[in-house]
Structure 1
Amino acid sequence: MIYLDYQATTPLAPEVKEAMAPWFDKFANPHSPSRWGREAAAAIEVARDQVAACLPPAGEVVFTGGATEALNWALRSAVRISDRRRVVTVLTEHAAVLDTCDWLETQGCEVVRLPVGPDGLVALPRVSAAVDERTAVVAVMLVNNEIGVLQPVAEIAALAHDAGALVLCDAVQGFGRMAIPEGPDLIALSAHKIHGPKGVGALWAGEGVKLAPMLHGGGQEKGLRSGTLSPMLVAGFGAAAKLALGRREQDHAWVEHLWSCALAALGPAWDVNGSLEHRYRGNLNLFREGLDAARLLADLRDIAFSLGSACASGSGRPSHVLRAVGLADREARSCIRLGFGRYTTEEELVAACRRIDQTASAQRSFA
């Protein structure tokens, strides 16, 4: 299997596996006062510092079960602690944001969903016009999970702060791969997108930002999220963050190289969706006229790639992101997403892209 689905999840790094291994046997509850419990608690605090090192300097990391939980919590909390009832977001956000916004509307909130241009970017004048003294929070993704576009998060944060609103940034696809811009008040993270384990994420809250408790009970995680933490998963998250920070420039250079190799191997029949300039190049979302993308996926079962977000796969609905950038439903069904990174070799990527192009060409020949 050639794995080209890095936006869905990433391979577990060997260093992360090594960091997690001791906690299979060290099973003590990290919230217990026993010696073993204190050792587990200390490991969690080491991991907290390792994750925080990849983030803006002043703030606090609270571990969660994943980024979906963190995004739900952040949005609900931002509204609960404010007397404002407007939420501003972007049409191309992850379902964890958009679906939470749908729910907030049932609770009496007004939600403004901003459109994007054909390049996938939201225009700053639109943000400025939407954010006012009624706005509690602005939610914007750093790197789009489907098309890889980089939103102007710092500039959006400045506009939001001028109106007294908080800013929530879904940084799942950018964390560990690039510097997180200063400005957001809340940042959602996930371990398994940076070669860490599944089942653990985090919400970062900037200095002075209040959070309403999400889960009630023992108050284990700073009195905000009750429940027993997994030392194994948290230690893995910390190790993945430390590794990503140390390798960031190396990983960035490799992804840039792979991007060029992929485009050369695919040839001229494919168009890239989203901005070519403002993007993370480990995400290559492509359109080919007349392609039956679902059939292509079935014909190439030994190559792992996708038709869009893993969260929406199987729904049968065209991608809301591709529709937002102007593609018709028929065109959206002619798109594929290739994701690659640290452990992708040039040889396997080039071989896969050539086979993808050949198989797509064969579709037209037999159409």
Structure 2
Amino acid sequence: MIYFDNSATTKPYAAALETYTKVASHYFANPSSLHKFGQKVRELHEEARKQIATLMSARTEEIIFTSGGTESNNLAIKGIAHAYQNRGKHLITTQVEHPSVKNVMQELEQNGFSVTYLPVTETGQIRLEDLKKALRKDTILVSIMHVNNEVGAVQPIQEVADLLAETEMPLFHVDNVQGFAKMELDLVKIDAMSISGHKLHGLRGTGVLYKKNKLNLQPEMLGGGQELGLRSGTENTAGIVALAKAMRLSLEDFQKKVSNLTNLRDFLLAEISKLDGVTIHTDAASSAPQIICFSVKKQRGEVLVHALEEKEVFVSTTSACSSRAKLESSTLHAMKVPENQATGAIRLSLSYENTSYEAEQFIGILKDILQKINEVVK
């Protein structure tokens, strides 16, 4: 099997699974319970928070545990919008955000907020000039993803952070679900950042929202007041401890293996670009090292996905979150990719565990599939 769908989800590290099983089996008490057993679980929970804060160069009270990237994005954007609406009701994001940002923005528009959606270049990046023009006195939030989940385009997050740091408002939120442990990012001038556990070899149902100390949020989930009152519900301590382990291991992989990952991506890009009828939508010079998006002339993406699947090769049609339902404004449309190419796009997403042998095997399989498809078309 060749698994090139890591942006959809990753295989959990064996050590993360082992950690989860140990904690779930032996430390299963409710961390909010007053008895000694519950307090032992609370200690594990808070130690994981401390470890993650250290990994992120943050303070422990700035780490909020969530169920994943979608919840983190919802809590950050809605939480900021509602907490600061007395200072303005204008928000800025981009045309290429994940649905968990884009759909939240659309809901806020229905509730009286105004949203500016920044356009992108043909390689998927925003222009700082467009952001500067969009800023208003009543702008309270800018939310921009670090790495695009469909084509891998990297946004100029540091430049945006520097620009926004010149004034108290607006606040700056970054969806870093696809960028964590793949790209460097300095938190100093970022107010909130979302991370998902299952995108970095942790378990599903785990995530982090980094929230700068000064930042106020209106909670989305009310109840027992867990997670500093911002995310009520009995905590998933086993998943959170496993998340801390996965984050540490993924950052170690980043330090040791990111150059290998980049080389693997570049090899695939070079070989795929040689094939007849193929259009590459990922610009290597301005993209993350793990994502490749391309389309084949006169072919639909799902046809290629299923043809590869028959050879035990697993990829996706752009975003896994939208592959079953065509979205009105996808990243490719925002990049001015023609409709006939956008519908034929597929995404390869790599992990540090993928090998050059798998890449070579993939190219051979893809060549065979395209040759057979072209013969049928003729």
Pick the TM interval, shorter chain: over 0.9
Asked whether the 8 Å contact 2:126–2:155 carries over to 1, the reply is: yes
Counterpart position of 2:58: 57
- 1:119 aligned onto 2:123: yes
Give 1:245's match in structure 2, choosing from 245, 251, 266: 251
Asked whether the 8 Å contact 2:282–2:292 carries over to 1, the reply is: no
Which amino acid in 2 is paired with 1:112?
Answer: T
User: Partners in 1 of 2:271 and 2:226 — Cα distance?
Assistant: 51
Greater CA drift, 352-361 or 118-127? 352-361
The structural deviation recorded for 1:160 is: 2.7
User: Partners in 1 of 2:146 and 2:122 — Cα distance?
Assistant: 17
Give 1:88's match in structure 2, choosing from 77, 89, 92: 92
Matched residue SS, 2:199: coil
Show structure 2 runs of 5+ residues with no match: none
Matched residue SS, 2:292: strand
Asked whether the 8 Å contact 1:170–1:189 carries over to 2, the reply is: yes
The structural deviation recorded for 1:57 is: 3.5
Give 1:290's match in structure 2, choosing from 295, 298, 322: 298
Q: 1:317 to 1:106 in 2, by over 3 A?
A: closer
Asked whether the 8 Å contact 1:56–1:180 carries over to 2, the reply is: no
User: Partners in 2 of 1:132 and 1:46 — Cα distance?
Assistant: 41
Which amino acid in 1 is paired with 2:304?
Answer: L
Q: 1:283 to 1:174 in 2, by over 3 A?
A: same
Q: 1:148 to 1:92 in 2, by over 3 A?
A: same
Greater CA drift, 220-229 or 99-108? 220-229
Deviations 1:333-356 (CA, angstroms, capped at 9, x unpaired): 221100111211221222022212
Greater CA drift, 213-222 or 50-59? 50-59
Matched residue SS, 2:115: strand
Show structure 1 runs of 5+ residues with no match: none
Please give the root-mean-square deviation of Cα atoms over the aligned residues, in Å.
1.7
User: Partners in 2 of 1:10 and 1:251 — Cα distance?
Assistant: 16
Deviations 1:46-80 (CA, angstroms, capped at 9, x unpaired): 22123223324356000011111111111111111
Count of aligned residue pairs for this structure pair: 367
Deviations 1:107-131 (CA, angstroms, capped at 9, x unpaired): 1000000110101000000000001
Deviations 1:245-283 (CA, angstroms, capped at 9, x unpaired): 222222312211211332344351333314321211210
Asked whether the 8 Å contact 1:290–1:364 carries over to 2, the reply is: no
Report 1:1-367 matches (<5 A): 1-26=1-26, 27-58=28-59, 60-82=62-84, 83=86, 84-163=88-167, 164-182=169-187, 183-269=189-275, 270-301=278-309, 302-317=312-327, 320-367=330-377
User: Partners in 1 of 2:20 and 2:32 — Cα distance?
Assistant: 18
Asked whether the 8 Å contact 2:253–2:352 carries over to 1, the reply is: no
* TM-score normalised by length of structure 2: 0.93
Asked whether the 8 Å contact 2:95–2:118 carries over to 1, the reply is: yes
Which amino acid in 2 is paired with 1:9?
Answer: T
User: Partners in 2 of 1:43 and 1:209 — Cα distance?
Assistant: 26
User: Partners in 2 of 1:57 and 1:69 — Cα distance?
Assistant: 20
The structural deviation recorded for 1:45 is: 1.5
Deviations 1:183-212 (CA, angstroms, capped at 9, x unpaired): 210101100000000001111111311122
Asked whether the 8 Å contact 2:95–2:329 carries over to 1, the reply is: no
User: Partners in 1 of 2:180 and 2:43 — Cα distance?
Assistant: 24
User: Partners in 2 of 1:255 and 1:319 — Cα distance?
Assistant: 30
User: Partners in 2 of 1:9 and 1:48 — Cα distance?
Assistant: 23
User: Partners in 1 of 2:52 and 2:280 — Cα distance?
Assistant: 32
Asked whether the 8 Å contact 1:56–1:181 carries over to 2, the reply is: no
Deviations 1:205-240 (CA, angstroms, capped at 9, x unpaired): 113111222222111211211110111110111101
Asked whether the 8 Å contact 2:273–2:279 carries over to 1, the reply is: no
The structural deviation recorded for 1:99 is: 0.2
Greater CA drift, 132-141 or 251-260? 251-260
Deviations 1:109-166 (CA, angstroms, capped at 9, x unpaired): 0000011010100000000000121101000000111111110012112323335200
**Structure 1 ranges of 4+ moved more than 4 A:** none
Greater CA drift, 6-15 or 74-83? 74-83
Q: 1:160 to 1:267 in 2, by over 3 A?
A: closer
